[in-house]
């Protein structure tokens, strides 16, 4: 094979100036064909999983991507790692277009972009030992670290908080949290520059979740690796995306980014109605609040129904079918992702009729669900 496959994988994170774009995605589209008909199966529709999203991840940055199931966040992750072939748009890594790169062209880049998967049970080969799993990427890329692969694997096990003596064990001997640590060690084995973490903690118990979030943060900060952190849990994303020069979060809905911006700006001054609804839906706990203490009330918004099908998404603004502010304009015209007046620089919102930038309780709750509204009316009478 060619020379360029043998990457020395130098730890040169320091030479990369933070703030330089590492990954640029423009107008990314992924449509999955829907087959149907008999006896000849034809394409009868398209699942518009990702439909024109733009994002930039800078060197050493952690970027959060949140959304509900079916919004295309995982597909985005898989497109960026090139596990899926994009239907349209452009992906550039360090300025180099990799949208339709071949396997061979991708090989040197693959080692710099690694992925951590959601399910620690199905993402590790049950027939391989931990040592084999973690050294696998080095073998494929023919990397001989100083002191041998085994030494490097033992180092990695130590970094992720496992006992190096577990080298010869099999995945089934570990708990869910420990397996996820093995997945992290595997992702680190090639000294990547960017890690795409697709729901890395959602399969874990609460007490274990925090261990893995802290581990990923440590890895991120000490090794200077950029993270694309994909999750449905807003609180986890808020906690992960911190302590960096840049800490951005994007909210996705039905294949589109509907709001993106600085973390604090998104969580405390959201403008898109969907971001408001999402934040208000997170159950809150007031721990240790004194009896007489005034706890600021958050707004209460209850949407009706579920996310529409991505096979035939609504025209114009995709959120309009569940939005309480929707008007004719929303159906006719797709709102552009722009910076609204009064927002911080870099806080972009795609909405024709944005909300006030506050999440405090409103004069009246917004309850769109007819059954809920009816029951609550009965209770009031």
Residue 186 binds to other proteins (criterion: CB under 8 A): no
Distance of CA 31 to the CA centre of its chain: 19
**Helix (H) or strand (E) run with residue 113 in it:** strand 113-116
DSSP, residue by residue, 62-100: EEEEE--TTSSHHHHHHHHTTSS--SEEEEEETTEE-TT
Q: What are the backbone dihedrals phi and psi of residue 187, each rounded to the nearest 5 degrees, phi first?
A: -65, -30
Q: Which of 285, 292, 341, 381 binds other proteins (CB under 8 A)?
A: 285
> Buried b vs exposed e over 63-84: b needs ≥16 C-beta within 10 Å?
bbbbbbebbbbbbbbbbbbbeb
**Interacting residue with other proteins among 211, 316, 339, 353 (CB under 8 A):** 211
Query: Does residue 34 touch other proteins according to CB under 8 A?
Result: no
Q: Which of 146, 165, 291, 292 binds other proteins (CB under 8 A)?
A: 291
* Residue 68 in contact with other proteins, rule: CB under 8 A: yes
- Which class for 103: exposed (0-12), middle (13-18), buried (19 or more C-beta within 10 A)? exposed
Task: Work out whether 307 is an interface residue with other proteins (CB under 8 A).
Answer: yes
For 168, the token pair is 């010869």
Q: Is 208 in the site for other proteins (CB under 8 A)?
A: yes
**3-state SS class at 201:** coil
x/- contact string, 216-245, with other proteins (CB under 8 A)? -x--------------xxxxx-xx--xx--
Q: How far is the CB of 372 from other proteins (least distance, A)?
A: 5
The least distance separating other proteins from the CB of residue 27, rounded to whole angstroms, comes to 27
Angle CA 214–225–337, to nearest 5:
95
Number of residues forming the site for other proteins (CB under 8 A): 55
Q: Binding marks (x or -) toward other proteins, 138..177, rule CB under 8 A?
A: -------------------------------------x-x
Binding residues for other proteins (CB under 8 A): 68-69, 175, 177-178, 205-211, 213-214, 217, 232-236, 238-239, 242-243, 263, 267, 277-291, 302-307, 369-372, 375-376, 378-379
């Amino acid at each position: 094979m060619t020379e360029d496959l043998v990457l020395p994988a130098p730890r040169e994170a320091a030479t990369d100036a933070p703030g330089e774009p590492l990954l640029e995605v423009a107008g990314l589209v992924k449509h999955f064909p829907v087959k149907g008909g008999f006896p000849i199966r034809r394409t009868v529709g398209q699942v518009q999983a990702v439909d024109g999203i733009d994002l930039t991840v800078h060197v050493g940055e952690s970027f959060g991507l949140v959304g509900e199931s079916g919004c295309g966040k995982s597909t985005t992750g898989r497109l960026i790692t090139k596990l899926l072939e994009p239907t349209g748009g452009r992906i550039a890594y360090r300025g180099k277009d990799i949208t339709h790169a071949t396997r061979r062209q991708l090989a040197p880049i693959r080692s710099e972009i690694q992925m951590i998967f959601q399910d620690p049970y199905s993402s590790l080969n049950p027939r391989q030992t931990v040592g084999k799993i973690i050294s696998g990427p080095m073998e494929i890329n023919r990397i001989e670290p100083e002191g041998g692969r085994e030494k490097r694997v033992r180092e990695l096990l130590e970094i992720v908080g496992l006992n190096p003596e577990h080298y010869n064990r099999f995945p089934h001997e570990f708990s869910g949290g420990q397996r996820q640590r093995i997945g992290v060690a595997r992702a680190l084995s090639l000294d990547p520059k960017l890690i795409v973490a697709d729901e890395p903690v959602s399969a874990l118990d609460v007490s274990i979740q925090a261990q893995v979030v802290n581990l990923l943060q440590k890895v991120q900060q000490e090794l200077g690796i950029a993270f694309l952190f994909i999750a449905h849990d807003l609180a986890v994303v808020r906690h992960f995306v911190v302590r960096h020069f840049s800490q951005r979060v994007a909210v996705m809905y039905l294949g589109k980014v509907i709001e993106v911006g600085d973390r604090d700006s998104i969580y405390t001054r959201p403008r898109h109605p969907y971001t408001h609804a999402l934040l208000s839906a997170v159950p809150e706990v007031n721990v240790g609040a004194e009896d007489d203490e005034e706890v600021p009330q958050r707004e209460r918004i209850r949407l009706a129904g579920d996310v529409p099908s991505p096979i035939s998404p609504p025209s114009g603004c995709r959120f309009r079918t569940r939005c309480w502010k929707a008007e004719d304009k929303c159906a006719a015209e797709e709102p552009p992702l722009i910076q609204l007046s009064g927002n911080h620089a870099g806080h972009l919102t795609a909405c024709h009729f944005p909300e006030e930038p506050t999440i405090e309780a409103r004069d009246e709750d917004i309850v769109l669900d007819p059954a809920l509204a009816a029951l609550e009316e009965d209770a009031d009478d």
